[in-house]
RNA sequence: GGGUGCAUAGCUCAGCGGUAGAGCGCCGCCCUUACAAGGCGGAUGUCGGCGGUUCGAACCCGUCUGCACCCACCA
């Protein structure tokens, strides 16, 4: 196909134009462009600048992570925001970094150790942590390279990691402050425990799903003093310390206060009355296991019941007796079997669907467990976090999602922040030989002397990421960065992470920064889904690697597709078809610019006066300014889909399909000065490329730097609506478009081929276009009505009258029928063959010559051509 | 159990009080020298059902049905 893309001879300053290939090749363009941007320091923000700041901190991806479509989506939007603000004259900072991701990273390294037949305990704490750092060095942060590939305009000189020295200092500082303020405390409570990760996890790290269990009803006690309870976790009965019934439940009134025998043990337990019990549910009696169930724990507190732990940290039964050493699930069946043998199982229901908590990291069934942990007292912090949104200091986009935020911050339980891991920020508390507890601040030495030990636990990963908006800027030091760039402007992230991260940044930001909120706007995005709206996840087969798509179609195509799907708060379905469509758009822009360059479009000098402009010019400039205003409004409202769609249609439908096509008649006119059109076309492209740059940075940069003498779009000035409008020109062009479209439709209906010239008379007296008769004739492919002209049809449209001679029209249906018969092909076959080759129209002419012509042009249709050639050769005569 | 959102063309979705839209797909014609990753033309919808408000409803209100998602102490 390259043999017929010979560049036309070139003249003038834009000979580079013709060096542009006919197709956009992202792979060749994107890498070098990104390197150039970084080398020139375009993304490095200057804290000493006079420009107003615009700051976004990236939601730090896990150090273990790779770029998935969700990142690609959010990064595209954040990049678009910062790129646009930079062009608008802000000192724009998009700050990158990564999260140390406690459990995830520790799991990765433990897996590595397991492959070597070792556990972390074989190494010991210090060596293990060293090993994790080594792992990070070697395998961590792959996502950073992938972000470059996407085109993320982040300030690499400010890259941060949550375990950096500076950020660790921030963690210690705030821990100490919270501790001293009494907002951090240690307490024994029921927590969610993962028996595989061997650590506590917070409520939001638990994923609930419907599991099929078995609900058994067990008779406790004997005779009249017996009571039936139901459970799905029979093994916990070993730790029962009471049975609870509703205080007003008459069925059990006689039992309240009595003790009954607990089966399989030699213990007796009391029957207590507690209004938490729902008399309607089951038998209306509940077994109470304070050490293994949060509700039961609460009942235990109210009735002063002992808590009996029956399992160790791995979920293995520790109670002496026949079940000791059994895993919790083995113990469950064993205990049910034993009870059944004693005739104590009075009813079973299996499968019984109920929701069961799983560790969000490893999917292991969570075991509620009584344990000593560190907690943040969130009430005062959460109140402030709620108020900041309530009184409008922080806006949530889209506003509907604010309710979700309030639901959370207004009903937040205390936050369990200690994790029984080695990888993370170690809790800065030391215990003395006589039970003293000392919290050690960042500049303090741990207490000296014998017998002092540091707490073994580390902090929840979200504790350090909650400090991200200011710890990354140097807090607790009073740095220039902090002064310039805090508070940040927009926090853009998925709505699924409101509780994990957003609310915590709000709490910590307001607390640490003296009530100064960490950002003004929370922009919440939906989740990326596949083309049928199904959730994409790493474990799903529908999951797509955005890198594959970037390789195949370019980063801009992926970005544009994502931006175009980004309706505020709504999920984004994405399929390969749409990425292809975006790729096509990039290619379209490429070729339109190529056309402009070949025809000498220029951005030099001022725009010609309105008096010099044609109606077409005035129309497109009027539209251009309208689009600038509309695009601005959409970008400002985080309506990326609207902005993208608007620009897509303006560029393709109006600029490329009409303005450029209409310009051709000017450029082809010959002799007539084309400077005005060259300048206007240059202007329109210049502005359109700028408007698209935030979402399609690569192709726009490549084209713009070719079209203009500018250094880079990244640092150029964002277009402004000049206020220029011309309604008369818009109306006139509407007439032209209507006229042309109607005539084309008529021609198609009559069987005239698109390029076929038809003799016709044209009366434009009713349209105001009389002066442009020649141009209109060209558009409509009308030739002058010569001698002997006989109109066979007359078409009144848009105030004009067109009379045509249709004698040259082809009856396509009849042609097809004839060919089908002649070639001995089934009609369907013919269609398939001709679809790639061309069509019946020209096959009707000279077959040999036609096939020749096609062969030269269509390498991809080789097979079909061969077959058709054979068919044609075998035709008799 | 509580809450939120959604039901519009074959698919995925915009539109949110005034003549039904986009992308992809589909049909027909075409290489007209920027682009076949293209051009031109075309078809397709009782805007989930039923009521109501209005001169006028895909859009507002009520209700029903179906589907998503979020939250919660489902023994």
Q: What is the pLDDT of residue A542?
A: 64
A581 touches strand B (CB under 7 A): yes
Query: A817 with A707, same domain?
Result: no
Q: How confident is the model at residue A399 (pLDDT cuts 50, 70, 90)?
A: confident
pLDDT at A860 exceeding the cut of 70 = no
Nucleotide nearest to A854 (CA to C1'): B31
Determine if residue A538 is labeled as part of a ligand binding site. yes
A832 touches strand B (CB under 7 A): no
Q: d(Cα A614, Cα A677) in Å, to the nearest integer?
A: 8
A203 touches strand B (CB under 7 A): yes
Q: How far is the CA of A526 from the C1' of B5 (A)?
A: 12
Of A598-607, A628-637, A756-765, highest mean pLDDT = A628-637
Final residue in a domain of this structure, among A348, A368, A388: A368
A14 touches strand B (CB under 7 A): no
Question: Which residue is nearest nucleotide B73, judged by alpha carbon to C1' distance?
Answer: A295
pLDDT at A780 exceeding the cut of 90 = no
A831 touches strand B (CB under 7 A): yes
Is the residue at A445 inside a domain? no
Q: What is the pLDDT of residue A316?
A: 92
pLDDT at A99 exceeding the cut of 90 = yes
In this prediction, residues A762-777 reach a mean pLDDT of 77
Is the residue at A697 inside a domain? yes
Q: How far is the CA of A357 from the C1' of B71 (A)?
A: 15
Query: A633 with A699, same domain?
Result: yes
In this prediction, residues A370-388 reach a mean pLDDT of 92
Query: A699 with A811, same domain?
Result: no
Query: A581 with A717, same domain?
Result: yes
Collapsing DSSP to helix, strand or coil, A803 comes out as: strand
- Tens-digit pLDDT profile for residues A804-826: 877 766 555 555 555 555 444 44
Query: A716 with A761, same domain?
Result: no
Widest distance between CA atoms in chain A: 120
Q: How far is the CA of A355 from the C1' of B36 (A)?
A: 55
Is the residue at A589 inside a domain? yes
Query: A626 with A686, same domain?
Result: yes
- Buried (b) or exposed (e) across A797-825, using 16+ Cβ within 10 A? bbebebbbbbeebeeeeebbeebbeebeb
For helices A827-837 and A862-873, angle between their N-to-C axes, nearest 10 degrees: 120
Q: d(Cα A296, Cα A497) in Å, to the nearest integer?
A: 30
Is the residue at A477 inside a domain? no
A670 touches strand B (CB under 7 A): no
Q: How far is the CA of A411 from the C1' of B34 (A)?
A: 61
The residue that leads in pLDDT, A508 or A790, is: A508
Q: How far is the CA of A85 from the C1' of B3 (A)?
A: 37
Query: A809 with A849, same domain?
Result: yes
CB A129 within 8 A of CB A423: yes
pLDDT at A458 exceeding the cut of 70 = yes
CB A650 within 8 A of CB A582: no
Instruction: Specify the number of domains making up chain A.
Output: 3
Final residue in a domain of this structure, among A326, A346, A368: A368
Range of the domain at A801: 751-874
A749 touches strand B (CB under 7 A): yes
Query: A719 with A790, same domain?
Result: no
CATH code of the domain covering residue A783: 1.10.287.380
Is the residue at A238 inside a domain? yes
In this prediction, residues A232-254 reach a mean pLDDT of 89
Give me the residue label for tokens 């140097």.
A474
- Tens-digit pLDDT profile for residues A720-758: 999 999 988 888 888 888 888 888 888 887 877 777 788
Per the structure, the residues numbered 504 to 533 in protein chain A that have their CB within 7 angstroms of any atom of strand B are 529, 531-533
Q: What is the interface pTM, i.e. ipTM, of the complex?
A: 0.94
pLDDT at A759 exceeding the cut of 90 = no
Query: A617 with A659, same domain?
Result: yes
In this prediction, residues A241-263 reach a mean pLDDT of 89
- Exposed / middle / buried, residue A500 (Cβ in 10 Å: 0-12, 13-18, 19+): buried
Query: A327 with A362, same domain?
Result: yes
CATH code of the domain covering residue A595: 1.10.730.10
Q: How far is the CA of A95 from the C1' of B44 (A)?
A: 49
Q: How far is the CA of A486 from the C1' of B48 (A)?
A: 49
pLDDT at A428 exceeding the cut of 80 = yes
Final residue in a domain of this structure, among A368, A401, A416: A368
Collapsing DSSP to helix, strand or coil, A687 comes out as: helix
In this prediction, residues A344-356 reach a mean pLDDT of 81
Residues 6+ apart with CB under 8 A from A319: A238, A239, A310
Is the residue at A279 inside a domain? yes
- Chain B nucleotides close to protein (CB under 7 A) are 3-5, 11-15, 22-25, 28-42, 69-75
Q: What is the pLDDT of residue A844?
A: 36
Q: What is the pLDDT of residue A808?
A: 66
pLDDT at A636 exceeding the cut of 80 = yes
A210 touches strand B (CB under 7 A): yes
pLDDT at A853 exceeding the cut of 50 = no
Structure letter (DSSP) for residue A606: P
Q: How confident is the model at residue A846 (pLDDT cuts 50, 70, 90)?
A: very low
Nearest to A225 by CA among A266, A276, A271: A271
Residues 6+ apart with CB under 8 A from A359: A194, A196, A197, A201, A205, A206, A207, A365, A366
Query: A719 with A781, same domain?
Result: no
Is the residue at A777 inside a domain? yes
Nearest to A162 by CA among A497, A370, A463, A436: A463
Q: How confident is the model at residue A668 (pLDDT cuts 50, 70, 90)?
A: low
Q: How confident is the model at residue A163 (pLDDT cuts 50, 70, 90)?
A: very high
Per the structure, the residues numbered 586 to 645 in protein chain A that have their CB within 7 angstroms of any atom of strand B are 586-588, 591-592, 594-595, 598, 641-642, 645
Is the residue at A144 inside a domain? no
- Tens-digit pLDDT profile for residues A282-339: 788 899 999 999 889 989 988 999 988 999 999 899 988 899 999 999 999 899 999 8
Query: A710 with A756, same domain?
Result: no
Question: Which residue is nearest nucleotide B6, judged by alpha carbon to C1' distance?
Answer: A570
Q: How confident is the model at residue A877 (pLDDT cuts 50, 70, 90)?
A: very low
Q: In Å, what is the CA distance from A693 to each residue of A80, A263, A566, A639, A723?
A: 8, 73, 17, 16, 22
Please report, rounded to a whole number, the percentage of residues in chain A having pLDDT higher than 70: 88
Please, what is the average pLDDT of chain A? 84
Sheet holding A519-525: strands in order across? A395-397, A519-525, A488-494
């Amino acid at each position: 196909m390259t043999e017929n893309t010979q560049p036309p001879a070139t003249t003038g300053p834009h000979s580079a134009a013709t060096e542009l290939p006919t197709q956009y090749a992202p792979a060749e363009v994107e890498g070098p462009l990104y390197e150039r941007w970084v080398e020139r320091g375009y993304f490095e923000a200057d804290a000493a600048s006079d420009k107003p700041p615009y700051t976004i901190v990236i939601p730090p991806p896990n150090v273990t992570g790779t770029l998935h479509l969700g990142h690609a989506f959010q990064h595209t939007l954040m990049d678009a925001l910062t790129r646009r603000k930079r062009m608008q004259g802000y000192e724009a900072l998009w700050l990158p970094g990564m999260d140390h991701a406690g459990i995830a990273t520790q799991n990765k390294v433990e897996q590595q150790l397991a492959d070597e037949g070792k556990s972390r305990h074989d190494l010991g704490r210090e060596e293990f942590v060293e090993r994790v750092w080594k792992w990070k060095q070697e395998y961590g942060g792959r996502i950073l390279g992938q972000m470059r590939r996407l085109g993320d305009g982040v300030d690499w000189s400010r890259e941060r990691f949550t375990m950096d020295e500076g950020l660790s200092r921030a963690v210690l500082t705030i821990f100490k402050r919270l501790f001293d303020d009494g907002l951090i405390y240690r307490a024994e409570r029921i927590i969610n425990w993962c028996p595989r990760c061997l650590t506590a996890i917070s409520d939001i790290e638990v994923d609930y799903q419907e599991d099929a269990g078995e609900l058994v009803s067990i008779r406790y006690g004997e005779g009249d003093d017996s009571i039936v309870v139901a459970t799905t976790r029979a093994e916990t009965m070993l730790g029962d310390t009471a049975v609870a019934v509703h205080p007003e439940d008459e069925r059990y009134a006689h039992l309240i206060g009595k003790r009954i025998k607990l089966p399989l043990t030699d213990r007796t337990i009391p029957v207590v009355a507690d209004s938490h019990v729902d008399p309607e549910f089951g038998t209306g009696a509940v077994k109470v296991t304070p050490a293994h169930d949060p509700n039961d724990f609460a009942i235990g507190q109210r009735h002063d019941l002992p808590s009996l732990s029956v399992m160790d940290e791995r979920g293995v039964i520790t109670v002496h007796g026949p079940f000791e050493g059994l895993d919790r699930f083995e113990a469950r069946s064993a205990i049910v079997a034993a009870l059944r043998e004693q005739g104590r199982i009075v009813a079973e229901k299996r499968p019984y669907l109920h929701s069961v908590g799983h560790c969000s990291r490893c999917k292991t069934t969570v075991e509620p467990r009584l344990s000593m942990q560190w907690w943040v007292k969130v009430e005062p912090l959460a109140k402030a976090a709620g108020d900041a949104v309530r009184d409008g200091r922080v806006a949530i986009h889209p506003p509907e999602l604010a309710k979700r935020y309030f639901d959370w911050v207004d009903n937040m339980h205390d936050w369990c922040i200690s994790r029984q891991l080695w990888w993370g920020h170690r809790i800065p508390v030391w215990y003395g030989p006589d039970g003293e507890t000392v919290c050690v601040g960042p500049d303090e030495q741990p207490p000296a002397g014998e017998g002092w030990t540091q707490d073994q636990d580390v902090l929840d990963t979200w504790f350090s990421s909650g400090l991200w908006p200011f710890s990354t800027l140097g807090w607790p030091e009073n740095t220039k960065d902090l002064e310039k760039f805090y508070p940040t402007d927009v926090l853009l992230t998925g709505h699924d992470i409101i509780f994990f991260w957003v609310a915590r940044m709000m709490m910590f930001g307001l607390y640490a920064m003296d009530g100064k909120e960490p950002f003004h706007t929370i922009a919440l995005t939906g989740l990326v889904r596949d083309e049928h709206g199904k959730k994409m996840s790493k474990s799903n087969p529908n999951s797509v690697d955005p890198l594959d798509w970037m390789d195949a179609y370019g980063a801009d195509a992926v970005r544009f597709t994502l931006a175009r799907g980004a309706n505020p708060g709504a999920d984004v379905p994405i399929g390969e078809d749409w990425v292809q469509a975006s790729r096509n758009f990039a290619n379209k822009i490429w070729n339109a610019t190529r056309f402009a360059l070949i025809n000498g479009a220029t951005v030099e000098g001022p725009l010609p006066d309105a008096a010099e402009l044609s109606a077409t010019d005035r129309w497109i400039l009027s539209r251009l300014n309208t689009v600038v205003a509309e695009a601005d409004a959409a970008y400002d409202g985080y309506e990326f889909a609207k902005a993208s769609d608007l620009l897509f249609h303006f560029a393709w439908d109006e600029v490329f399909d009409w303005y450029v096509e209409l310009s051709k008649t000017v450029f082809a006119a010959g002799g007539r000065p084309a400077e005005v059109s060259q300048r206007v076309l240059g202007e329109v492209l210049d502005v359109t490329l700028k408007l698209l740059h935030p979402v399609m940075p690569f192709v726009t940069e490549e084209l713009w730097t070719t079209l203009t003498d500018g250094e880079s779009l990244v640092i150029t000035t964002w277009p402004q609506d000049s206020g220029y409008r011309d309604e008369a020109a818009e109306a006139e062009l509407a007439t032209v478009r209507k006229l042309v479209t109607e005539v084309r439709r008529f021609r198609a209906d009559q069987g005239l081929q698109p390029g076929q010239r038809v003799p016709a008379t044209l009366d434009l007296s009713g349209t105001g276009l009389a002066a442009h008769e020649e141009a209109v004739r060209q558009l409509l492919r009308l030739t002058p009505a010569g001698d002997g002209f006989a109109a066979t049809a007359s078409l009144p449209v848009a105030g004009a009258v067109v009379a045509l001679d249709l004698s040259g029209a082809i009856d396509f249906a009849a042609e097809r029928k004839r060919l089908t018969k002649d070639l001995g092909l089934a009609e369907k076959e013919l269609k398939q063959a001709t679809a790639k080759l061309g069509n019946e129209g020209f096959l009707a002419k000279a077959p040999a010559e036609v096939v020749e012509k096609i062969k030269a042009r269509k390498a991809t249709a080789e097979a079909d051509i061969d077959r058709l050639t054979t068919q044609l050769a075998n035709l008799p005569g």
